[in-house]
Amino acid sequence: MVVKTLPEFPVKKGEPAYKLWIFEPGEKKEMPLVFNLRQLAETRRPALLPGHRLCAGCAAPIVVKLASFAFRGPTIVVTATGCLEVSSTIFPYTSWAVPWIHNAFENAAATASGVEAALKALKKTGRLPYDHVDVVVFAGDGGTFDIGLQSLSGAAERGHDFLYILYDNEAYMNTGIQRSAGTPKYAWTTTSPVGSVLPGKMENKKPIAEIMVAHRIPYVATATPAHWMDFMKKVRKGIEVEGPAFIHTLSSCDRGWRHDTALTLEVTRRAVDTCYFPLWEWTPQSGYMLTDRSLAIARNPKLKQPIEKYLELQGRFRHLLKPENKHLVKELQELVDAAWEELLRKASNAPR
């Protein structure tokens, strides 16, 4: 019998799991961005440690863990009310290996602004023993699209230096799957029910990333946990820029989207393959730039999949696959195509 012993890296037995995230005052080291999986496993620990109580198949912890692999050093995490907050810090435990502040639902960006402004003041007066302390916000779609938009917009306008990562599961999953401004058209939720009269939510999704682009902040991007290298690169860019940065990640929720727990990443991958959720980044200098799979699709349009490939995996769109709702799928396809064409026109690295 082969006895398998788990390697002890990166934390030795007996040491606290959050040891990697302790930074001695004055430490100059910047953590490198590692993409080699072996090296990553040997040298890193995510900032969200095991033992949290998010559902099996939830993409939110994947988003947080991938993002934390791209943190460059001392980092303070701000979390708005949501699934991630309630299930990662249940008394007497916390899953966070980094300093973490929760606030109310509508003010993650405002709290981050306060934290960042204080850090700036401490640094100015020589009381901050680090070169840089980064502030990263994790907030869901409710806390970003709806109730938190005001504080996010305010913080972006004031130009506070933090990275805001939106994990968009496209509804209020924490309170039981109610529609949000992030819910896509024709999706089922408990407050946009599907029946003989209505085919789910009748309104379009709010273009949150474009709203942030309109703020002319230094960095805006979209990402999914399925395209992990792309996501990690974007997180590092967002942290490194001076000023607010915003990353919109599509984060599937197997409870709300009604798919198998094993399909979490496949669903977000297909969202990109069907151009329903294209991957891009935007900076004031270069404008829109397609990245990763979306760039590949732009170069080779044959790779683009029909929208049914995305819809068929999810129970929330089940009604659309019925024969009588064919026109709705067609309409969705036209919407997706129009948005994709527009993005191709805007993107500076798309082939002409």
Partner 1 sequence: MKREFLSGNRAVAEAALLSGLRFYAGYPITPASDLMEYLAERLPKVGGIAVQFEDEIASINAAIGASWAGAKAMTATSGPGFSLMAEGISLAVATETPLVVVDIMRAGPSTGIPTKTTQSDVYQARWLAHGDYILPVFAPWSAQDSYDLTIKAFNVSEKLRTPVILLSDAVIAHMWETLYTREPGEVEIVSRKKPVEPPEEYKPYKAGEDLVPPMAVFGEGYKVIVESLVHDEAGYYRQDTRTYREMVTRLREKIMRNIGVVYEHEEYWLEDAKIIIVSYGSTARMAYPVAKSLLSRGLRVGFLRLKTLWPLDEGKLSSALSKADKIIVVENNTGRIYYDIARIAGRDRARFSPILTVDPPGFNEVLEAVSRWL
Binding residues (CB under 8 A) for partner 1: these are: 81, 85-86, 102, 104-106, 142, 145-147, 149, 172, 174-176, 178-179, 181, 190-193, 197
Residue of 55, 77, 52 lying closest to 67 (CA atoms): 77
Buried b (16+ CB within 10 A) or exposed e, 26-42: eeeeebebbeeeeebee
Minimal distance, residue 217 CB to partner 1, in Å: 21
Residue 265 CB: number of other CB atoms within 10 A? 17
We find the least distance from the C-beta atom of residue 29 to partner 1, in angstroms, to be 36
The SS3 of residue 108 is helix
Q: Pick between residue 194 and residue 344 the one whose CB is nearest to partner 1.
A: 194
> CA-CA distance, 137 to 204, in Å (whole number)?
26
Least separation, in Å, of the C-beta of 288 and partner 1?
27
> Is the CB of 85 or the CB of 254 nearer to partner 1?
85
Encode 138-161: b = buried (16+ Cβ within 10 Å), e = exposed: bbbbbbbbbbbbebbeebbeeebb
Largest CA distance in the chain: 68
Closest approach of Cβ 181 to partner 1, in Å?
Answer: 6
Q: Supply 129's token pair.
A: 């023993």
Please report how close the Cβ of residue 145 comes to partner 1 at its closest, in angstroms: 8
Which residues touch 169 (CB under 8 Å, ≥6 apart)? 59, 60, 83, 140, 141, 251, 252, 253, 256, 257
- The tokens describing 14, both together, are 């007996």
Nearer CB in complex with partner 1: 108/298: 108
Do residues 247 and 79 lie in contact, with contact meaning Cβ atoms separated by under 8 Å?
no
Between 149 and 265, CB nearer to partner 1: 149
Query: Least CB distance from residue 301 to partner 1, whole Å?
Result: 37
- In the bound state with partner 1, the residue whose beta carbon lies nearer, of 169 and 268, is 169
Q: Is the peptide bond before 16 cis (omega within 30 degrees of 0)?
A: no
Q: Ramachandran region of residue 267, left (φ > 0), alpha (ψ -120 to 50) or beta?
A: alpha
Comparison of 134 and 168: residue with beta carbon closer to partner 1: 168
Nearer to partner 1, 155 or 221 (CB): 155
Q: How far is the CB of 68 from partner 1 (least distance, A)?
A: 23
